[in-house]
């Protein structure tokens, strides 16, 4: 069901993109915007793992430098039957984690020192399983595709602002202005909805990988509680990376509605614990 919802949302975003393109006077402006937006996002997708890991000053570890974490990830990878990702640790007191990489063969998982210190081994295993699920489900690719379309929509609306759009369209000036304002907002809402959908799916698959849904449920409760009172200064300075983390690292948390990149922790925990019944 998660994949079906994602496909429907992506189809809606694509339809929005095509509808806006039709309003532009001629196809050349749309094609230029599309080429630039796709080019920017392809570059970001290819280099996103290096960029985000460098931004958070993550350090790569192995069996000799972090044996417990390394061996735990090896076990989860074996359970998931997938390639071994690189493992990183971020020096940050807020318990949190994320996965990055363009595909399962070029992926990385990162955990903060706060996560490793504040959670027990089972809970850490649940978190790592969740991040491996993101990699296995190719969520990075899905989010890159939605980011490309959302970026193209924003760029096209900027073109409309300077080009005036198609003067023969029936919407008139007010309608065109409304589209320029509301279209990027609608694209962001769809992008966030896809992100929430992928979190639910990663919770489900992650629980299957570790074999203990309760581990991940308990971890989510602890992370959410600590993340609400412990600062993640790097994330606060770059909120566009917030959707990558297992729990929103920002202190300005949105409700579980249109503008939230993460589902409510209570609902995620409820679903996980229902798997044990």
Looking at the DSSP assignment, which residues form a beta bridge with residue 86?
Answer: 108
Judge whether 131 counts as a catalytic residue: yes
Residue 18, number of CB atoms within 10 A of its CB: 11
Residue 151, number of CB atoms within 10 A of its CB: 21
Non-local CB neighbours of 45 within 8 Å, separated by 6+ positions: 102, 140, 141, 144
Mapped onto helix, strand or coil, the DSSP state of residue 102 is strand
Mapped onto helix, strand or coil, the DSSP state of residue 66 is coil
Non-local CB neighbours of 198 within 8 Å, separated by 6+ positions: 2, 6, 134, 137, 139, 142, 143
Tokens of 92: 């940050």
Residue 229, number of CB atoms within 10 A of its CB: 8
Among candidate residues 123, 131, 199, 201, the one labeled active-site is 131
Tokens of 128: 């790592």
Non-local CB neighbours of 227 within 8 Å, separated by 6+ positions: 94, 95, 96, 247, 248, 249
Query: Cα–Cα distances in Å, from 200 out to 30, 46, 64?
Result: 35, 25, 34
DSSP character string of 159-214? HHHHH---TT-TTHHHHHHHHHHHHHHHHHHHHHHHHHHHHHHHHHHHHHHHS-HH
**Could you give the residue numbers annotated as active site?**
131
């Amino acid at each position: 069901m998660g994949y079906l919802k994602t496909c429907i949302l992506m189809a809606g975003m694509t339809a929005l993109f095509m509808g806006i393109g039709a309003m532009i006077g001629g196809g050349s402006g749309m094609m230029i915007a599309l080429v630039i937006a796709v080019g920017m996002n392809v570059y970001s997708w290819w280099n996103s793992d290096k960029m985000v890991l460098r931004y958070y000053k993550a350090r790569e570890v192995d069996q000799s430098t972090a044996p417990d974490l390394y061996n735990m990830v090896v076990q989860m990878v074996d359970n998931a039957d997938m390639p071994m990702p690189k493992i990183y640790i971020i020096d940050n007191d807020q318990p949190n984690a994320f996965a990055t990489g363009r595909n399962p063969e070029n992926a990385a998982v990162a955990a903060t020192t706060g996560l490793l210190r504040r959670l027990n081994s089972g809970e850490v295993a649940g978190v790592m399983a969740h991040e491996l699920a993101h990699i296995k489900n190719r969520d990075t690719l899905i989010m890159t595709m939605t980011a490309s379309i959302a970026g193209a929509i924003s760029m096209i609306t900027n073109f409309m602002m300077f080009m005036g759009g198609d003067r023969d369209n029936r919407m008139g000036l007010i309608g065109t202005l409304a589209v320029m304002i509301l279209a990027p907002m609608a694209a962001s809402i769809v992008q966030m909805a896809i992100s929430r959908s992928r979190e639910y799916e990663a919770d489900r698959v992650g629980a299957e990988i570790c074999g203990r849904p309760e581990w991940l449920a308990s971890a989510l409760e602890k992370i959410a509680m600590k993340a609400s009172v412990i600062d993640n200064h790097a994330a606060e300075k770059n909120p566009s990376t917030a959707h990558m983390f297992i729990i929103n690292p920002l202190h300005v948390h949105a409700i579980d509605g249109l503008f939230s990149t993460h589902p409510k922790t209570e609902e995620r925990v409820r679903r996980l614990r229902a798997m044990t019944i």
